[in-house]
Structure 1
Amino acid sequence: MTSSISDSVAAIQVSCKQTRFQIESPNYRELDIDGLNITVTASLPAGATKAKAKAASRSTGLEILTDATLRLKAGERYALVGRNGTGKSTILRAIAEKLIPGIPEETRIAILQQTNDGADGALAAANRRTVLEEVIERATAKDELEQEILTLSQGMDTTAADDSSSDAYATLRALRKLRLERLQKRLFVLDKNARLRSGARGMQARKALTALEKTVAEATASWQQDDSDITAEMLHAETQEAADLLADLQIQAEPARLAHIESRAKNILKGLGFSEVMATTKAVGDLSGGWRMRTALAAALLSDADILLLDEPTNFLDMLGILWLQKFLLASSERTRSDDTTSGEPGRPPPTIVLVSHDRDFVSAVACHLILLQDKAVTYYTGDLPSYEAAQAESRQHLHKLKDAQDRQRAHLQETIVRNMREGKKNNDDTRIRQAKMRQKKLDDRWGLETNAKGHRFKLNRDMAGFHHTRRAEIEVPPEARAVHISLPDPPDLRFPGALISLEGVCFRFGAEKKTRLPPPPWTLDTINLNVHEGDRIGIVGLNGAGKSTLIRLLVGDDAVTASGQVQSSTRPIKSTVTMHPRLRLAYYAQDAVDAIRALGGDSDSSRDDDAPLTALGLLTRDVDGKLQEGDLRALLGELGLPGRLASDTPLRRLSGGQLVRCALARLLWQRPQCLVLDEVTTHLDYETNTALRRALRTWPGAVILVSHDRWFMRGVIEGAVDDEAGSSSGDDGNGSDLDDGIGKGLGGRNLVYRLRAGKLTLLQGGLQEFEDQLEKRVEKLLQL
């Protein structure tokens, strides 16, 4: 624990505005920090000094925030919004590890990180805790409490023994050992404070650290003291102190309280998709990465945190889990936890929630405030993401109109100034000359905004008080962030009509090839009928484990090229057949496409002559094997958002998740397929890239088969919805076509949503909304448990 946090202190350099007169807020459930600077540097050696850390941050550091303001109000729900690579996860980590000066140590902070499944999974594999045990231990530190009780109990039992194993000093040594362990934990906190603070506050922190170091040294010497040096009075007093402390700890570990916590943990695990058998018998070390992340999420939700930080909590959840989490966060935030007589715990106010998620519907439903991270600064907006985008578009349009009108007025004034000066000098007319000079003075000194920030008429002495201000601010239209654009190549003509893919009466189950006397397992896919034609948009929804990936593997067949560049090994049906158009080019994006490419770029490719790190262009060049020229490959990568040196010079291991998705799509699209099969393609994409891909797929003439838990993305690609995109009007796709007629009138084909459940594929006449309505009823039942 110490080393990991120390590494964080070295890798994340944080400073903020503080004075020696600053008094920390008594409300430790909220943050109010000005002048915040966060820089990420390479981890330094253990003995590196603070001066070396600052020098490293200045020379090689990546600035995340510069002179920013971080304000979190108690009990509010925030969404941290920004593009991939802007430092959202770094900010959450700095808050969670209390690297920011001014965060009180008594503040309880729980965090779900995107990388929570690494060391935590290894720890769980070592001690073989079940899922339920791991969640309770993480949320309540129950193991630490039980270990302290065990240490004191063993000491007292040894002292009270009647046989030769009795030791009168065992209780005293157990108490002193416990004291030393607690002091060492406190020493770690003070050491971190001394690292983070400077000036008068830093001097005070270093004095406190020095004083505690002496106390720790004395406690160490006391614990190692010989029995002969311990007086009878010391023995009696400390033995009684140990008995009192043990009684207090046992009250904290009261069975009724732990039973209440266990009941809450079971309900949370059930809402996240764990069955009771899986939660109580399955070891965390035996879980996959996705289930370990759900375990970490359950622990964060169970904890009584003052500030709850969630980094991509929906990544490994199906739609039922996303809806449950959405309702759970709203319920826990909108009501104060009442006193519970069963647990004996006083009611605690709702936590302050900060979440990072690329699921627009989830963010819009949960967050009341947006923290917008852009250009190393943060701005705040009260409302959801669609409201913010609409307000920004409206404000920008209004400022454009003001600026255009003012530019026309300026041109008119300049024209009259020139004319009046010419006519005044020609006719010796002082009035015209004086009028021209007054107008010129207005242009020079009083030209600018005619209204203030509240929309009222501008007054210099009120809105720009101070004798040094003589010129109003110009009307400046804030520049739009560079839009993300994705262009998909048009598919070639099939030459003769027919269904692209046809499944008729297909049945499949696992283990059918094994001949046993046991009854056969249930059908994973039972009598599936599905036809895909040119221009169709087919969405497949269902819960995790329903068989969606199995259906996709069966559907793509033997000849589908995956995003990992390999031919997909098919899953063959047991009954009936799968037929494909003889000229069909089909491309398949699998869930693990990004991980596969990341593994390829993990080190230098030994198969290359120059032994250089593998880049996106190099990977695509190897895939096409001379079938396309480098210029064509660069054009394709550029259309997908990997232009120039980013494609040819940046190693794969340095690309973000969203950029790796683009690389994976390039590996599919260079063959210009007529049908794209996409399985969870949005997992690593930010809002802008997600929107660009959604728009590109909606207007692409080929067929799309999509499996996704992202409701917003599914509505746009499959159902053609555009009313929730920034700058678009409801019911219009931008080309004059009316989308209010519902599903079934897509671009050149059908728009269909199917649900896969219990092996059956059912067409949802009401589309995705019908599936959401069905899940809402299940969520309500889960929340009532």
Structure 2
Amino acid sequence: MITLRDVVLRRGVKVLLDGATLTINPGEKVGLVGRNGAGKSSLFRLLDGTLHEDKGEFQVPAHWRMAQVAQDMPETDQSATRFVVEGDVTLLAAEREVAEAEASDDGERMAHAYMALNDAGAHDANARAQALILGLGFRLDELERPVNSFSGGWRMRLQLARALMCPSELLLLDEPTNHLDLDALVWLEAWLQRYPGTLLVISHDREFLDAVTQVTVHIEHAQLKRYGGNYSRFEDMRAEQMALQQAAFARQQDKIAHLQKFIDRFKAKASKAKQAQSRVKALERMERIAPVLAEADFTFEFAEPANLPNPMLVLQDVDFGYPGEDGAGPATIVRGVNRSVLAGQRIGILGANGQGKSTVVKTIARTLAPLAGTVTEGKGLNIGYFAQQELDVLSPRDNPLEHMIRLVKETTAQGRLSGQPTREQDLRSFLGTFNFTGDQVFQAVGSMSGGEKARLVLCMIVWQRPNLLLLDEPTNHLDLATREALSVALNEFEGTVMLVSHDRSLLRAVCDEFWLVSRGGIAPFDGDLDDYQRYLLDMAKQAREAQREQARAAEPPAPAPVVDRQAEAQRQKQRNEQLRPLKKELAQIEQRMAKLGDERAQLEAQLMQATQDPARLAEAGRRLKAVESELATVEARWLELSEAIEQAGA
């Protein structure tokens, strides 16, 4: 098990853990939660040995193998399959030993190396790696593509597949869902539910935590508190404990006030001095209950739209895609769409990876032009667009205040002032409502965290006072508290929402209808998110079956063997004659192994009885040693015979 006892952990001058104690049992699946900066990732660095405790005791079983997602972006010309296969460190070591054994020309070493390679699963390593890659959303034709040819988000998926490929007793996952679409997320949940080892996961996805964890560890005030249950259960238990603590604090404060009042009243009276002194000591002995310190949750709201055109926009025979490059024709992804978006609609856009969800949103947001057809916008349409890649709308060199000043100039030039504050001091105050205070308004965006960039984009959208919100994966870098604030704000928003997200909790809370982008078209999805998850699993199963059929069809037909039945019968008779003595000896050895195994169990039970005569115990110990020695010998012979029979049969 993993144990921390009175652990102190510092990063620079900041104390992240102060006397923290925790036990995690083998096989438990644990969600690690807490505010950004509380020390979740630093605790992972303690577990993987990157950091060391400053005080206290910390232990992870020495024999446990650990796997985690590397945070560096892979730069290699290896194929995707080979890159993931090399995540299996046991297999990699076995491959190196085979190469060294062959170079040494040592027959015995080569035999052991080949056995180790087989035990490491070399025969199906490629198949296992490719199952992981396909499960995380890659296509069949991408399995042999060089890693360097993929974008950053896809390379991080390969890092995740590489970590899952590694045999491990302990798996550490820090925000594994950030680069995943909903279909890949559903697959990952199913994989982690089957994982037999101990899992620790940091995630801001409530439903993901509920699906894969049974224990929650909360980091708060430099302490670790363990809760039995998933994230929803943790929230319920923590709310109950906070209510109880607040009630106990209030009762204690009443008692303290009563004692202090008695002391103040009678401490000067000789007749009451003894009683007053007794109450002073009672106050000193009292273990003070801390008040519940309500953490300042981040909240915001969208201003009421200036107008609500209806319909917001109309799509007539629209083709979505990308213009051609280097003389190539345009790449059409979704075609022939006829849909209307009405005032007040709250649409969740669903679809498997690569089907064109982001392309549709970018086109409606005017970032891409439609390849065909007409997009008719309602009069006064004002779009607030949250891009999946925040830097699509942010400049890394500029600071938040410069972004807001530029936004004011752009909206003024376009004649669509939002009615929001425009003076520099007012803009600074407005940024402050999104937790950009003091010198933070002058910090370059390129040096900000993902969560800070996301908050700045939200701030700019709110200032514009939109009536149509286009949100493409807005929660990728938001913590749970900010996701909750976004959910509340969207529910109170009076305009129209079109949302692409793998955060099912947000989709459930905000959307009341869904569009499915699939097979080059868009259609209403008749069902809820649970129905959609079942649809994704069915589609993945069909895709795997189609890929297997395709692979079988691509194989050249094997030539029909020409069989000499008489010669084959003669060879079979010879093999049977060769195998007969081997099989007879193997049966005898198996009988002997069974007897020795029974005797060993009896001797071990005898040695557990410490009340017996010491001489008999010593004799049992000597006999047990002899039995184990003979058992090792016959097991080695059994292995030799088994291999000989297998080779003769082949």
Q: Which TM bucket (shorter chain)?
A: 0.7 to 0.9
Match for residue 148 of structure 2? 285
Match for residue 39 of structure 1? 10
Match for residue 84 of structure 2? 135
Separation in 2, partners of 1:418, 1:511: 83
Q: 1:783 to 1:362 in 2, by over 3 A?
A: farther
Separation in 1, partners of 2:251, 2:320: 68
Q: 1:69 to 1:398 in 2, by over 3 A?
A: closer
Match for residue 646 of structure 1? 440
Deviation at 1:778, TM superposition (A): 4.8
Separation in 1, partners of 2:120, 2:301: 60
1:465-523 deviation line (CA, Å, top 9, x unaligned):
xxxxx7332443331222122233332235xx53222213323455789999x9x98x6
8 Å CA contact 1:396, 1:477 repeated in 2: no
Deviation at 1:66, TM superposition (A): 3.2
Match for residue 303 of structure 2? 489
Q: 1:379 to 1:412 in 2, by over 3 A?
A: closer
One-letter amino acid matched to 2:210: S
Separation in 1, partners of 2:98, 2:237: 57
Tell me the secondary structure at the aligned position of residue 709 of structure 1: coil
Deviation at 1:64, TM superposition (A): 3.1
8 Å CA contact 1:307, 1:351 repeated in 2: yes
8 Å CA contact 2:98, 2:117 repeated in 1: no
Separation in 1, partners of 2:191, 2:543: 10
Deviation at 1:416, TM superposition (A): 9.0
Give 1:532-681 correspondences, 5 Å limit. Answer: 532-557=341-366, 568=367, 570-575=368-373, 577-594=374-391, 597=394, 600-601=396-397, 614-625=398-409, 628-648=422-442, 650-681=443-474
8 Å CA contact 1:84, 1:685 repeated in 2: no
Match for residue 46 of structure 2? 94
Separation in 2, partners of 1:271, 1:544: 11
1:702-747 deviation line (CA, Å, top 9, x unaligned):
22211111101111222xxxxxxxxxxxxxxxxxxxxxxxxxxxxx
Separation in 2, partners of 1:548, 1:661: 20
| 1:153 pairs with one of 102, 112, 135 | 102
8 Å CA contact 2:298, 2:481 repeated in 1: yes
Match for residue 382 of structure 1? 228
Separation in 2, partners of 1:525, 1:314: 26
1:363-403 deviation line (CA, Å, top 9, x unaligned):
11111111212233322211122222222222222333444
One-letter amino acid matched to 1:138: G
1:283-320 deviation line (CA, Å, top 9, x unaligned):
21212222222222112112211111111111121112
8 Å CA contact 1:539, 1:753 repeated in 2: yes
| 2:138 pairs with one of 249, 271, 274 | 274
Separation in 2, partners of 1:265, 1:441: 74
Separation in 1, partners of 2:278, 2:539: 67
| 2:514 pairs with one of 753, 756, 763 | 753
Separation in 1, partners of 2:326, 2:345: 37
Match for residue 112 of structure 2? 248
8 Å CA contact 1:311, 1:357 repeated in 2: yes
One-letter amino acid matched to 2:38: T
Q: 1:417 to 1:691 in 2, by over 3 A?
A: same
Q: 1:530 to 1:149 in 2, by over 3 A?
A: same
Tell me the secondary structure at the aligned position of residue 658 of structure 1: helix
8 Å CA contact 1:487, 1:639 repeated in 2: no
Match for residue 172 of structure 2? 309
Give 1:389-468 correspondences, 5 Å limit. Answer: 389-404=235-250, 444-446=280-282
Deviation at 1:155, TM superposition (A): 4.7
Q: Which has the higher helix share?
A: 2
Deviation at 1:579, TM superposition (A): 0.7
Tell me the secondary structure at the aligned position of residue 190 of structure 2: helix
- The answer to whether 1:108 aligns with 2:26 is no
8 Å CA contact 2:318, 2:338 repeated in 1: yes
Q: 1:411 to 1:150 in 2, by over 3 A?
A: closer
Separation in 2, partners of 1:70, 1:395: 19
Deviation at 1:325, TM superposition (A): 1.0
8 Å CA contact 2:318, 2:372 repeated in 1: yes
Separation in 1, partners of 2:262, 2:61: 64
Tell me the secondary structure at the aligned position of residue 670 of structure 1: helix
One-letter amino acid matched to 2:351: G
Give 1:1-16 correspondences, 5 Å limit. Answer: none
Q: 1:245 to 1:381 in 2, by over 3 A?
A: same
Q: 1:141 to 1:619 in 2, by over 3 A?
A: farther
Q: 1:297 to 1:583 in 2, by over 3 A?
A: same
| 1:471 pairs with one of 258, 272, 285 | 285
Q: 1:554 to 1:250 in 2, by over 3 A?
A: same
One-letter amino acid matched to 1:380: R
Q: 1:397 to 1:781 in 2, by over 3 A?
A: farther
- The answer to whether 1:770 aligns with 2:540 is no
* RMSD across aligned positions (CA): 3.5
Separation in 1, partners of 2:256, 2:174: 50
Separation in 2, partners of 1:636, 1:283: 46
Separation in 1, partners of 2:258, 2:232: 39
Deviation at 1:437, TM superposition (A): 7.5
Separation in 2, partners of 1:643, 1:489: 21
Q: 1:411 to 1:63 in 2, by over 3 A?
A: closer
Bigger mean CA offset, 396-405 vs 80-89: 396-405
8 Å CA contact 2:350, 2:514 repeated in 1: yes
What is the identity percentage for the equivalent residue pairs of Structure 1 and Structure 2? 30
Give 1:312-327 correspondences, 5 Å limit. Answer: 312-327=175-190
TM-score when normalising by structure 2: 0.73
Separation in 2, partners of 1:263, 1:630: 59
1:401-456 deviation line (CA, Å, top 9, x unaligned):
4444565677678889999x89xx9xxxx9xx77x985x67754557xxxxxxxxx
Separation in 2, partners of 1:371, 1:412: 38
Separation in 1, partners of 2:104, 2:258: 94
1:259-291 deviation line (CA, Å, top 9, x unaligned):
233333232222222333322x21212122222
Match for residue 529 of structure 1? 338
Tell me the secondary structure at the aligned position of residue 530 of structure 1: strand
1:175-201 deviation line (CA, Å, top 9, x unaligned):
xxxxxxxxxxxxxxxxxxxxxxxxxxx
Deviation at 1:765, TM superposition (A): 3.8
One-letter amino acid matched to 1:314: T
Q: 1:143 to 1:499 in 2, by over 3 A?
A: same
Gaps of 5+ in 1: 1-29, 41-56, 157-241, 333-349, 448-469, 558-567, 602-613, 719-750
Separation in 2, partners of 1:594, 1:267: 33
One-letter amino acid matched to 1:581: G
Deviation at 1:83, TM superposition (A): 2.0
Deviation at 1:777, TM superposition (A): 4.2
Q: 1:674 to 1:357 in 2, by over 3 A?
A: same
TM-score when normalising by structure 1: 0.61
Separation in 1, partners of 2:455, 2:132: 35
**Matched residue pairs, number?**
531
Deviation at 1:590, TM superposition (A): 1.0
Q: 1:82 to 1:414 in 2, by over 3 A?
A: closer
Give runs of ≥4 in structure 1 deviating > 6 Å: 409-419, 511-516, 779-785
Deviation at 1:661, TM superposition (A): 0.8
Bigger mean CA offset, 503-512 vs 261-270: 503-512
